[in-house]
A and B are shown apart, each in its own frame.
Chain A
Amino acid sequence: MLSKKQARFFFLGGTAVTFLIFIGLTVFSLSKAQDQSHEENLTEAVVKGKHIWEKNNCMGCHTILGEGGYYAPELTKVIERRGEGYVKAVLMSPVPWAPHGRKMVAYKMSNEEAEDVIAFLNWISKIDLNGFDKIVSPLAKESK
């Protein structure tokens, strides 16, 4: 029968081995050669857009890369789906945008802020998502 010492060895050994593998895989998957997000296209506007995205907790309602609030639409492919003009109108609207009655906060963004957010969303839309983009993208809709 298993002794307490063996049980402790199983815990400490198992943890150490899996943790080392985890670190190894992290280093591998975040290496430049494995980049799927086109990091070279991270312009100043994209980074500014990300800050605006975070400052207003957009993720609290929307999802992006499938992560977020499940209350408002997934935005990974929103630019392809709706076009830049529509997105800009929503961001700059002085009254709450409310498709189907569900309200969004009226952020009343300036033209520049809205363009930064659009740059961010454009960068997001080009990330290779291992097939998930086909599920949430307009291309998937066409193949209905």
Chain B
Amino acid sequence: MKYKSQKVAYWFFALCMLLLVLQLTYGFIMAFAHAGMDGLHNWIPFNTAKAVHTNLLVVWLLSGFMGAAYYIIPEESQNELVSVKLAYVQLISLAVVGVVAIVGYHFNYWEGRKFLEIPRPLDYLVVVNVLLFMGLILLTLFKGKRKTTTALVLSMGLLFAALLYLPGMIDFDSQVLDSFFRWWVVHLWVEGVWELIMGGILSFLLIKLTGVDREVIEKWLYVIVGLTFLSGILGTGHHYYYIGVNKIWLIVGGIFSALEPLAFLAMALFAVNMYRKGEKKHPNKIALYWTIGSSIVSFIGAGLLGFAHTLPQTNIYTHGTLVTAMHGHLAFWGAYAMIVFAIISYALPNLTGRKFYDSARGRLAFWLANIGMIGMTVAFGVAGVAQVYMERKMKINFMEVQTEIEVHFWVLIIMATLFSTGITLFIVEFMKHGRPSDEALEIEA
């Protein structure tokens, strides 16, 4: 690392690992319940497990993005972070709000709106927390010696993500309006501004790992984030087909969301081409695996599998079925989890001074996690398609169909075990690096 204050990032990454383990645990609880084994129902009913599973995902990814920003912004702006103490305050308050929310879900303390279950009083704390984070990042950036496109895109993504949290806090009497504006948060995050964050991190990693000229990489970064917003903003319409609003969204949402894979395709082509053009001299091969892997798996998970059910003619049958879970798992994994793993893999040796650049354990973690997640996606996909045909086409009762597709959840559990083994190896690798140290300063190549 080049700046002492970058060490803060390590603790955000450590929080990521901890929350990820919890997220997987609750995922297993849900998978077993789907397979007919709901022995924990009295203590952790499915709706609790689901809220915990999805909210932990959001919190650990945000923690990863924040860690990435605390690592990247000082280096890009050539300036120490304006206040390390406040960054730790922000870390601890993020962890506390997250933990209180998750404990609350076990005691019926929530808002009951998918993905935005955090109860309102805690929402305000989230806002304060994010304001503190944005203040630290933006001040560091603007006091710095240079303002790079990579840093600006990353900061813009984080700032928009913060602003877009607000529409989710408006109260509506109508379920239709509630749902409409809920997607302003959820869709415009994951299919909009989070892609800016992903693009910013990707661009930073490609500059470092491939050695290709910054100007070339950042030019394409603009094109990619341009494509993202061009398709993604109006692509929000694919959530509005069948929730009780005007048919105009069938046309607008259909056309623009069908263009969304282009942004991910561009991202994959961009990463692979920059790697080919590059000098291939950087020794951190594991970081390179996760970086290129993220760009490719996000194209498959978010781009192709999203496209598979985005057209209104298909979506009328798949809306509200396990087909959505199929797409959701590979999309979040490829686009966001893997890019967080990439920045962790890149930053850890620099923060700690221990250069485990190309260990067998690191490679095994990458392959097991990816093969496991692809297997899980297939299991969800088969269950989802079977559900669509039986329930929506043949009009068989919901629960009869669920009993028929139980077997696919056993496949899911086996694949999730493989996935979790990969994640465990990644965490072991994380711990083997030890703590960040000032001795690691300037060691970076």
Contact = CB atoms under 8 A, between A and B. Distances in A.
28 contacts: A2-B219, A7-B223, A10-B222, A11-B225, A15-B230, A15-B233, A18-B233, A29-B246, A29-B248, A30-B180, A37-B176, A50-B173, A54-B112, A55-B112, A61-B46, A66-B242, A69-B47, A69-B114, A100-B400, A102-B33, A102-B36, A103-B38, A127-B244, A129-B244, A130-B247, A131-B242, A132-B319, A140-B395
Interface in B307-330: 316-317, 319-322, 324-325
B275 interface: no
A66 B403 contact: no
Contacts of B252: 25
Given A22-B234, A105-B45, 11 more contacts: A18-B256, A58-B47, A60-B46, A60-B48, A65-B244, A71-B47, A74-B320, A74-B398, A130-B242, A131-B316, A135-B316
A42 B173 contact: yes
A34 B47 contact: no
A34 B240 CA distance: 14
Nearest to A123: B175
B316 A2 contact: no
A36 B244 contact: yes
Interface string A17-60: 01101100110111000101101001000110010011111111
Nearest to A143: B395
B219 A65 contact: no
B292 to A, nearest CB: 22
The 9 nearest A-B residue pairs measured at CB: A60-B47, A66-B320, A132-B242, A11-B226, A7-B222, A57-B112, A54-B112, A29-B246, A100-B399
A18 B234 CA distance: 7
Most buried by A among B46, B117, B225: B46
A37 B41 CA distance: 35
B177 interface: yes
B438 interface: no
Interface in B103-129: 105, 108, 110-114, 117
Interface of B: 30, 33-34, 36, 38, 41, 45-48, 50-51, 105, 108, 110-114, 117, 149, 173-180, 215, 218-220, 222-223, 225-227, 229-230, 233-234, 236-237, 240-250, 252, 256, 316-317, 319-322, 324-325, 392, 394-395, 398-400, 402-403
A63 B177 CA distance: 16
A37 B246 CA distance: 10
Contact of A18 (B38, B108, B229, B244): B229
Nearest to B388: A135
Contacts of B247: 130
A70 interface: yes
Contact of A128 (B30, B51, B233, B244): B244
Contacts of B45: 61, 103, 105
A57 B101 CA distance: 14
A63 to B, nearest CB: 4
A53 B364 CA distance: 45
A25 B108 CA distance: 37
A103 B39 CA distance: 10
B54 to A, nearest CB: 9
A60 B319 contact: no
B179 A73 contact: no
Contacts of A14: 226-227, 229-230
Contact of B242 (A21, A129, A144): A129
B215 A65 contact: no
B226 A7 contact: yes
A68 B117 CA distance: 12
Given A7-B220, A70-B320, A131-B242, A57 B117 contact: yes
Given A42-B173, A132-B316, A132-B319, A56 B244 contact: no
Contacts of B316: 131-132, 135
Nearest to B215: A4
